[in-house]
């Protein structure tokens, strides 16, 4: 029985992991684009971006998932744009997560970029450096150093937030654990698999905590 449950939970966790990774791959660069928008010198773009970020950060991700997954099917003549089955649920989840997390990341990036004193840029300019050289050789690492602690918090939150995709029945690890309560693989009424899903989160987040701790330590040689 144990192996059956663990096998099913592994399959679920693979889906969790996939959503996590796809969200990172999409949201890390998109967040940078959004942060540039929110710092634009062109006021309309700046306010549009900031309003969008405000809406996304001010409403629950669960609501965004529901809206993105179900509403297009009601309003579009062509019906739901999402393919049927698990792949459609995954696509909708990934899009919602990427948009949501890009907005959170953008605020962190903005803090990191604006947190580097303007004197660093000016010192580089006075020394005859180009803006590109100043960015890559001087300010980038200082931004990364500032960004790592808040990013690690956000990314650990993302690991746990992936479970929200269950609201549109994405078959992630908690979905898999819960299925043994209702009946699955010939078992029903099993309570412990639900608890056991927690072990997956704990181990994975433990690993991420160590990883980010290592990165922070690597960057601690300067202030």
Residues at the interface with other proteins (CB under 8 A): 117, 119-120, 122-130, 133, 137-138, 141-142, 221-223
Nearer to other proteins, 59 or 130 (CB): 130
90 with 15: CB under 8 angstroms? yes
101: nearest Cα among 36, 167, 20, 171: 20
Residue with smaller CB distance to other proteins, 137 or 185: 137
Smallest separation, CB 124 to other proteins (Å): 8
72 vs 149, which CB is nearer to other proteins? 149
- Shortest distance in whole angstroms from residue 133 CB to other proteins: 5
Cβ 13 to other proteins, closest distance in Å?
38
Choose among 23, 44, 222, 58: nearest CA to 142.
Answer: 222
Q: Where are the alpha helices (DSSP H) in the chain?
A: 2-38, 43-58, 61-75, 85-115, 118-126, 131-134, 140-161, 173-182, 192-218
How many Å apart are CA 76 and CA 42, to the nearest integer? Answer: 33
- Least distance (Å) from other proteins to the CB of residue 132? 10
Least separation in angstroms between residue 35's CB and other proteins is: 22
User: Which of 74, 221 has the CB closer to other proteins?
Assistant: 221
> Could you tell me the CA-to-CA distances from 153 to 73, 160, 162, 175 in Å, in that order?
35, 11, 15, 24
Residue 30 or 129: the one with the smaller Cβ distance to other proteins is 129
* 3 state SS of 184: strand
């Amino acid at each position: 029985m144990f192996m059956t449950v663990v096998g099913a939970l592994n399959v679920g966790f693979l889906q969790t992991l996939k959503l996590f990774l796809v969200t990172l791959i999409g949201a890390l660069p998109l967040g940078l684009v959004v942060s540039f928008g929110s710092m634009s010198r062109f006021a309309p773009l700046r306010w549009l971006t900031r309003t969008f970020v405000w809406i996304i950060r001010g409403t629950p991700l669960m609501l965004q998932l529901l809206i993105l997954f179900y509403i297009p099917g009601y309003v579009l003549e062509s019906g739901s744009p999402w393919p049927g089955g698990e792949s459609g649920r995954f696509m909708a989840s990934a899009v919602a997560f990427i948009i949501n997390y890009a907005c959170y990341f953008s605020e962190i990036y903005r803090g990191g970029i604006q947190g580097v004193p303007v004197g660093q840029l000016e010192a580089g300019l006075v020394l005859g450096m180009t803006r590109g050289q100043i960015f890559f050789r001087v300010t980038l690492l200082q931004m990364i150093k500032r960004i790592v602690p808040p990013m690690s918090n956000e990314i650990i939150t993302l690991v746990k937030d992936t479970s929200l995709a269950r609201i549109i029945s994405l078959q992630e690890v908690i979905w898999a654990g819960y299925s043994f309560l209702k009946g699955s693989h010939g078992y029903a009424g099993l309570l412990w698999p639900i608890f056991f899903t927690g072990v997956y989160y704990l181990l994975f987040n433990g690993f991420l905590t160590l990883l980010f701790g290592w990165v922070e330590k690597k960057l601690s040689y300067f202030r």
